[in-house]
Chain A
């Protein structure tokens, strides 16, 4: 073989059809913003005292994350429902999100379907929430089936994302945003759930995919306090998902127990917990952000030995985006 043959091989390979990327400029600018944020936070962290660092770093990050159309850096935070879903953004853990398609859906009852070609990357549905904390966001379906993760619940203005479960090998994926279903609103913690009156306006919805960070992003460690609501922490465990996925313990001291949990990491609110108390499985999965429900509480009587088993999982994909979690048993 000659050098000319080698040249030919390289040319043949390099000058084949390359995937077009009309978004390269946007994506490069997004990388630039990420680097700037890292530098800003690092500088502040090195410079100040501990308290000042906390305040300034959060200002630096928050400031960088403010929206402003396509120049908005990361997680969009908006003051009203008129904000746009960004074409690109980077979450605080450095994950790059890209909007594939967007649409609107009438809040008074409509189904809007977005069809996207599966890129092999994780897909997520997005809804731009407005100021109304009682507004019922559209239900999300993938290929006609409701998503497994909890529905989108607006608690204030800003973008809400939910992972989409895409069948393996799916070429095209249809994502439906549905506002036609029955819905009710509980306006106080223990109040009745009353039918929601249709409100005007249209929801802005979209489908995003994301590219995992190059390396796992270490989440902030989480710990639960020694005392909580008058109860004393008896036992506990801290771990990082996906490495740690379960915990088992046995309690014998008589009293009323509750199980508490906490999570950190960008996907912390997607971690779910399931309990087995004395072999009885809890009826549903509990999200990390939810407060303990009745099913997470139990009583140990004198002379009784109760085994508690906790299993942890996560809704959606989480490549290189681990979640730190803690669980603890409190006794009153």
Chain B
């Protein structure tokens, strides 16, 4: 169980990585900081009962993000309308297009992509974080990768 005395140490030393995850979710450093702080504040109240602080805050961060998206507080309006043309690797412009395409993903699919391919978490852990079944994570991953036009022959790699 975590001691509240180490909360400040945790915030000072362990939150930069979480901020970067928040940035991938929100695509704005200011909103990411807001999201991170909101998650840390929520975690503070549960702190004495938390065994793994970083995992717990990550879970709160993801669920807070998806709830923000549902409420549309942030006026973020991801569109289901994706470009018809597949995204090809064309150097920097291709990477830019991928980044834009990630931004167009619905919140839950974006969360799955970030957790799976930035945090490198296994399907089981992503399912635990999102509070859903592993099958849901796999299907959301497949849908997201299809929208991103990731090569389907390599997609099997993502189901480990």
Contact = CB atoms under 8 A, between A and B. Distances in A.
Interface in B29-49: 29-30, 33, 36-38, 40-41, 44-45
9 contacts: A1-B94, A1-B149, A3-B155, A6-B113, A9-B102, A10-B113, A10-B118, A14-B23, A18-B16
B20 A28 contact: no
Nearest to B151: A2
A99 interface: no
Given A14-B24, A19-B30, 7 more contacts: A3-B155, A6-B117, A9-B95, A13-B23, A18-B19, A31-B37, A32-B44
Contact of B117 (A1, A10, A15, A25): A10
Nearest to A11: B118
Interface in A1-51: 1-3, 5-15, 18-19, 21, 24-25, 27-28, 31-32, 35
B44 A2 contact: no
Given A1-B89, A25-B11, A14 B21 contact: yes
Contact of B20 (A8, A14, A31): A14
Interface string A204-227: 000000000011000000000000
A21 B150 contact: no
Contacts of B118: 7, 10-11, 14
Given A11-B118, A28-B41, A35-B45, A6 B11 contact: no
Interface residues of A, number: 26
B87 interface: yes
Contacts of A31: 37-38, 40-41
B15 interface: yes
B81 interface: no
Majority SS at the chain B contact face: helix
Given A9-B98, A25-B11, A28-B37, A1 B88 contact: yes
Interface of B: 8, 11-12, 15-16, 19-21, 23-24, 29-30, 33, 36-38, 40-41, 44-45, 73, 87-89, 94-95, 98-99, 102, 113-114, 117-118, 145, 148-151, 154-155, 157-158
B24 A19 contact: no
Nearest to A7: B117
A3 B41 contact: no
A214 B95 CA distance: 33
A13 B19 CA distance: 12
A3 B150 contact: yes
B1 to A, nearest CB: 18
Nearest to A215: B73
A88 B81 CA distance: 43
B89 to A, nearest CB: 5
A214 B117 contact: no
Contacts of A11: 118
